[in-house]
Chains A and B, each alone.
Chain A
């Protein structure tokens, strides 16, 4: 019942930092129920982070699972400073970067393309496809990362700047530029 409620309200209510902190402490204590709750609250943000680095839905799904396993292993090292979501997303980003390097070494050139639609989601709506495949493909890598993080993780711009190791001013200007581009694309879409 609780999980059902969480799933339906996932994007209407974001967890406060304090609540996320508590979940992480409980995960550190070995509570799988806390890990389940954490998964349902943050899986989309973790997936978006991985996808923004890897540009490939299939690999991003793998990294999403790896991230939560790593959170389970490392939660005891978590210290309540700053943003717990940023801590989780740093793990996701580092795992994605490692996978990206492995992929490059194996010369998987297809990974260079923005490929955001997983094969096993057959009934995706035209609108969703237009938005996350076609509209996002028009953004630069960094713009896409910033917009995705802001849209789904609840991180503030300064936290995104810290996570991506970019100046805040760069994050803000790229964010606004990216939204402008997306809006232009969607306007064109609506006009069709």
Chain B
């Protein structure tokens, strides 16, 4: 089955199950059409006048009470991801104190003068700024991330209102950044014992309250150990029924590195994502070594690696790249052999070319879908060539080439348009085909992001080609090739 046939079957199945309720849509649109509210600038002035009048009234009537109200804490709002930040707020919903409760929070608030810059600002503005900073620091960027908003206030009505308003505020920030992180919120009643416990463990009372719910489910879990987990981990743990104590992110990374055989390499970088609500519960760990990505899943309770390829890596003479990677210390063919294999294959396709004419090259080791490969790039007689070579067998997995000559030849199109025929010729030359070899050839001129482009599609046997060519210069902007198995 070709890609196209598979996609057509999918599209067909979805079209038969997708809703077809045009009437429902039109009736809702009609309702709104009848209730159109004309927003004009004029409307704003009475509102502004009322606000000014209200402010004056408060100033005159409030008198000496204002000073006292301004410095009295009425609400405590905490934001927990793993950084925990606490905001003490007055009756006018201005921030009196912004405090980092743990080291991660201190790092997040560093560019806001440790939180002091937020003091005196409105609560919603401060929360907006903090969530923005959390995102810039790499928190809240995966769908499994979560932020917990907790509001403690003696006035329960105000607590609920603040909870709703802040949740909407955070939602807006996340939506604007296309973050898929979850937002949890709660109101918390004052509890002196819980506050003490929270303070001792450098977390917010909001997070402490979440931990208490977990320890109530499983008495063997300790408050202290759970304090080290992120909101995302705690939320998943609670949903999973708190079956045990997760090993935590650091231990998961350590287990993955040990399993991968790269514990001793200082250049290893990683990303870790807790999936405690999966079955089996695990930490997904991605290790990055010399531009290569290795994926592992570590059991969240036993530290056992349950998915991923064990590897052994040794460095080549220059120490720059690993030259051996495999399950049993299998040797790889090496960068030089990978380059030779790629060049030999390319020159066999274009007999006029000579391998000695290579002007520049680059070889990188990569792992994709459990397969170790060399990404080879070289330049030869105006061609920019990319190859994927199987790192163990030396076989060609994929190849692709651009030709600069064709671009240079067409760059000076007098009317700013190379024309359909030339665009087609460029695409076919790029693919190494003649028009007679292709079927379903289509060309369409369209407006791209910033320029006019030709979109060209054709098939050769079971291979589908798609090109986007700059109409003015003939440059191949994008190309795709799908091979059907």
Binding site for B on A (CB under 8 A): 10-11, 16-17, 30, 32, 35-36, 39-40, 43-44, 47-48, 51, 53, 57, 61, 64-65, 68-69, 72-73, 80-82, 94, 97-98, 100-101, 104-105, 107, 109, 112, 116-118, 121, 124-125, 127-128, 131-132, 141, 147-148, 150-152, 156-158, 165, 168, 172-173, 176-177, 179-180, 182-183, 186
Chain A residues contacting B184 (CB-CB under 8 Å) are: 104-105
* Contact, CB under 8 Å: B12 / A11: yes
* Contact, CB under 8 Å: A128 / B22: no
Chain B residues contacting A61 (CB-CB under 8 Å) are: 19, 21
Provided the pairs A39-B25, A112-B277 are in contact, do residues A16 and B444 lie with their beta carbons within 8 angstroms? yes
B368 beta carbon closer than 8 Å to chain A: yes
* Contact, CB under 8 Å: A148 / B6: no
Cα distance A68–B20 in the bound complex, in angstroms: 12
| Contact sample, A vs B, 15 pairs, CB 8 Å cutoff | A11-B8, A11-B11, A44-B18, A57-B17, A65-B25, A68-B25, A81-B449, A104-B184, A131-B9, A132-B10, A156-B478, A158-B478, A165-B178, A182-B10, A186-B6
| Chain A binder among B26-34, B59-67, B78-86, B424-432 | B26-34
B121 beta carbon closer than 8 Å to chain A: no
* Contact, CB under 8 Å: B183 / A105: yes
B39 beta carbon closer than 8 Å to chain A: no
Chain B residues contacting A116 (CB-CB under 8 Å) are: 17
Chain A residues contacting B178 (CB-CB under 8 Å) are: 94, 97, 165
Number of B residues near A (Cβ < 8 Å) is: 53
Cα distance A51–B30 in the bound complex, in angstroms: 26
Q: Which residue of B lies closest to A27 (CB)?
A: B29
B155 beta carbon closer than 8 Å to chain A: no
Chain B residues contacting A30 (CB-CB under 8 Å) are: 33
CB distance from B276 to the nearest CB of A (A): 12
Provided the pairs A47-B18, A128-B13 are in contact, do residues A65 and B369 lie with their beta carbons within 8 angstroms? no
* Contact, CB under 8 Å: A69 / B171: no
Q: List the 8 closest A-B pairs by CB distance, nearest first.
A: A151-B7, A47-B18, A128-B13, A104-B182, A61-B19, A151-B10, A68-B25, A72-B29
B271 beta carbon closer than 8 Å to chain A: no
CB distance from B127 to the nearest CB of A (A): 16
B197 beta carbon closer than 8 Å to chain A: no
CB distance from A83 to the nearest CB of B (A): 9
Chain B residues contacting A94 (CB-CB under 8 Å) are: 175, 178
Chain B residues contacting A81 (CB-CB under 8 Å) are: 449
CB distance from A152 to the nearest CB of B (A): 5
* Contact bitstring B140-182, A, C-beta under 8 A = 1, else 0: 0001000000000000000000000001000100110010101
* Contact, CB under 8 Å: B180 / A152: no
Q: Which residue of B lies closest to A69 (CB)?
A: B28
Complex partner residue of A35 from B18, B25, B444, B446, CB under 8 angstroms:
B25
CB distance from A175 to the nearest CB of B (A): 9
Chain A residues contacting B466 (CB-CB under 8 Å) are: 156
Q: Which residue of A lies closest to B16 (CB)?
A: A128
Chain B residues contacting A121 (CB-CB under 8 Å) are: 16-17
* Contact, CB under 8 Å: A101 / B171: yes
Residues of chain B in range 43-84 having any CB-CB distance to chain A below 8 Å: none
Chain A residues contacting B185 (CB-CB under 8 Å) are: 105
* Contact, CB under 8 Å: A124 / B29: no
Binding site for A on B (CB under 8 A): 1, 3, 6-22, 24-26, 28-30, 32-33, 143, 167, 171, 174-175, 178, 180, 182-185, 239, 277, 368-369, 444, 446-449, 466, 468, 478, 480, 482, 485
Chain A residues contacting B183 (CB-CB under 8 Å) are: 101, 104-105
CB distance from B421 to the nearest CB of A (A): 21
CB distance from A45 to the nearest CB of B (A): 9
Chain B residues contacting A177 (CB-CB under 8 Å) are: 369
Complex partner residue of B32 from A73, A128, A141, CB under 8 angstroms:
A73
Chain B residues contacting A35 (CB-CB under 8 Å) are: 25-26, 29
Cα distance A172–B51 in the bound complex, in angstroms: 54
* Contact, CB under 8 Å: A105 / B10: no
* Contact, CB under 8 Å: A109 / B24: no
* Contact, CB under 8 Å: A65 / B182: no
* Contact, CB under 8 Å: B13 / A132: yes
Provided the pairs A183-B485, A186-B1 are in contact, do residues A82 and B18 lie with their beta carbons within 8 angstroms? no
Q: Which residue of A lies closest to B4 (CB)?
A: A151
Q: Which residue of A lies closest to B480 (CB)?
A: A157
Cα distance A78–B295 in the bound complex, in angstroms: 41
Chain A residues contacting B21 (CB-CB under 8 Å) are: 61, 65
CB distance from A164 to the nearest CB of B (A): 8
Beyond known contacts A11-B12, A127-B9: 5 more, CB 8 A cutoff: A48-B18, A65-B25, A98-B175, A112-B277, A183-B1
Cα distance A25–B369 in the bound complex, in angstroms: 45
Cα distance A132–B18 in the bound complex, in angstroms: 11
CB distance from A42 to the nearest CB of B (A): 10
Provided the pairs A32-B29, A35-B25, A65-B24 are in contact, do residues A117 and B171 lie with their beta carbons within 8 angstroms? no
Complex partner residue of B13 from A36, A131, A150, CB under 8 angstroms:
A131
* Contact, CB under 8 Å: A147 / B10: yes
Complex partner residue of A69 from B1, B15, B29, CB under 8 angstroms:
B29
Provided the pairs A11-B11, A65-B28, A68-B25 are in contact, do residues A101 and B18 lie with their beta carbons within 8 angstroms? no
Cα distance A128–B448 in the bound complex, in angstroms: 35
Cα distance A180–B3 in the bound complex, in angstroms: 9
Complex partner residue of A44 from B1, B9, B14, B28, CB under 8 angstroms:
B14
* Contact, CB under 8 Å: A124 / B17: yes
Cα distance A69–B24 in the bound complex, in angstroms: 10
Chain B residues contacting A157 (CB-CB under 8 Å) are: 480
Chain B residues contacting A72 (CB-CB under 8 Å) are: 25, 29, 32
Cα distance A16–B1 in the bound complex, in angstroms: 27
Cα distance A156–B174 in the bound complex, in angstroms: 26
Cα distance A121–B239 in the bound complex, in angstroms: 31
* Contact, CB under 8 Å: B446 / A179: no
CB distance from B386 to the nearest CB of A (A): 12
Cα distance A21–B1 in the bound complex, in angstroms: 34
Cα distance A80–B446 in the bound complex, in angstroms: 12
* Contact, CB under 8 Å: A32 / B26: yes
Q: Which residue of B lies closest to A104 (CB)?
A: B182
